[in-house]
Homo-oligomer: A and B are copies of this chain.
Amino acid sequence: MKTKRKGLVIVYTGKGKGKSTAAFGLLMRALGQGLRICVIQFIKRETGRWGEVKTAQKLEIEWHKIGDGFTWLSKDIDESAARSHHGWQLSQDKIASGNYDLVLLDEFTYPLHFGWLDTDQVIDWLQANKPANMHLVITGRYASQALIDYADLVTEMTKVKHPHDEGYKAQRGIEF
């Protein structure tokens, strides 16, 4: 086993529940170990309602919301693309700053998947500029093969069973 420290690139992907949730759990772990954290959230579903945002505020975790609700599904493609570019610019600034031990790009796979950002350019930039000891966590469905190849640790969340299948609504504190 190599014993050197290495900033890992971690991807949580797949169609199952628990991708962003696992990333938020990682924040708890990292924070407890004194790591300096920055979160950039590329999809914002409902303003200020997310339980994890409230807890992150309590923990004084730096947290940026870029996305605008369900815009990836909307007709306003220019708006979505513009937001993606703004979010990626902010991400580059934060990553290159050297001020963080862990940066989470939450739901970052979507702007890549929908083509608002160019995957190859993003990976090239990360390979050239990500601090070697900084951990980078990326969540979202549809992680591309190029992103998987770039990552060190990739977990796919697979839905085995979901209560929406039984007709239950999303539960406060559990799904948001």
Bound: A13/B152 CA distance, A: 21
Chain B residue nearest to A149 in the complex (CB)? B161
A-side interface size class: 35 or more
The answer to whether A161 and B153 touch across the interface, beta carbons within 8 angstroms, is: yes
Contact residues in B for A148 (Cβ distance below 8 Å)? 160-161
Across-interface contacts of A20 in B (CB, < 8 A): 25
The closest CB in chain B to the CB of A133 belongs to: B171
CA of A32 to CA of B58, assembled, Å: 9
Contact of A32 among B11, B22, B54, B168 (CB under 8 A): B54
Known contacts A21-B22, A35-B173, A168 near B51 by CB under 8 Å: no
Q: Considering the chains assembled together, what is the distance between the CA atoms of A133 and B22 in angstroms?
A: 24
Q: Is A114 close to B, CB under 8 A?
A: no
30 pairs, CB–CB < 8 Å, chain A vs chain B: A1-B167, A1-B168, A2-B168, A17-B155, A18-B155, A21-B22, A21-B25, A22-B22, A24-B25, A25-B52, A29-B51, A29-B52, A30-B173, A31-B51, A31-B54, A32-B50, A32-B52, A32-B53, A33-B173, A58-B59, A59-B59, A135-B171, A151-B161, A152-B163, A152-B166, A153-B161, A154-B160, A154-B162, A155-B159, A156-B160
A interface residue numbers (CB < 8 A to B): 1-6, 8, 10-14, 16-18, 20-35, 50-56, 58-59, 101-102, 135, 148, 151-164, 166-169, 171-174, 176
